[in-house]
Amino acid sequence: MAAEVQDQPASLSKIDSAIDDTSPASPSDVKPKHRRSSSTVSGVFNINDLEKEGVELKIAPDTQKLNWKVNTSPSTIDDKEVLNKLLTTPPIKRIDLATPLGLVLTARNNKGVTIKDACDVIYKQFKKKADDELEAPYLAGFEWDREECYTKFIIHQKKTGDVSSGGSSKKSKKAKGGEEES
């Protein structure tokens, strides 16, 4: 019996706790050590990497046709499909947006910044502003000045929206005027 007990510790001493029998056989099967591997999407780039490579960015022209008031929710935009389009080609994870007053906002999306992401960030900044506080309340689009700052877009705003929204506001003013006279 004593011989059997001595054999067991000898066999246990050969087991190395650093080696796990359940681990994958090849190194390629080993999962990465960091947590956020799922947040990395292929084909979506870091803007700093694109700057180093000198890649030309193209801003979606649809941003100029939104007719969106920056202090109203982006969900009020008529064309909902435009909101899901990527803001840039190639898609990027993050972009800084500079307001006319010099404030810098950052839109982020690990799957690629969309027009909605940019609008959400702008709306978050301007939602508490009244219409008369905004000099130019409508989004006119974005400008990218590669020479001045590669990683920043300039937000352009305009004083009036398209003709269709201008006509509806005139009708509402007439309706209000008619109610006051009655």
Which tens digit of pLDDT belongs to each residue from 57-113? 999 999 998 989 999 999 999 888 999 999 999 999 999 999 988 899 999 999 999
Residue labelled with tokens 């702008």:
122
Q: Is 82 left (phi over 0), alpha (psi -120 to 50) or beta?
A: alpha
Residue 35 in tokens: 């947590």
Burial class (CB in 10 A: 0-12, 13-18, 19+), 85: middle
The reply to whether 10 falls in a domain is no
The total number of structural domains in the chain stands at 1
Whole-model pTM: value is 0.67
The reply to whether 12 falls in a domain is no
Which tens digit of pLDDT belongs to each residue from 104-149? 999 999 999 999 999 999 999 999 988 888 888 999 999 999 899 9
The reply to whether 65 falls in a domain is yes
Contact 60, 127 (CB under 8 A): no
| Domain that includes residue 94, residue range | 42-181
Residue 26 in tokens: 């090849």
The reply to whether 129 falls in a domain is yes
Q: For residues 48 and 147, give the distance between their C-alpha atoms in angstroms, rounded to a whole number.
A: 14
The reply to whether 15 falls in a domain is no
Q: For residues 60 and 58, give the distance between their C-alpha atoms in angstroms, rounded to a whole number.
A: 6
The reply to whether 8 falls in a domain is no
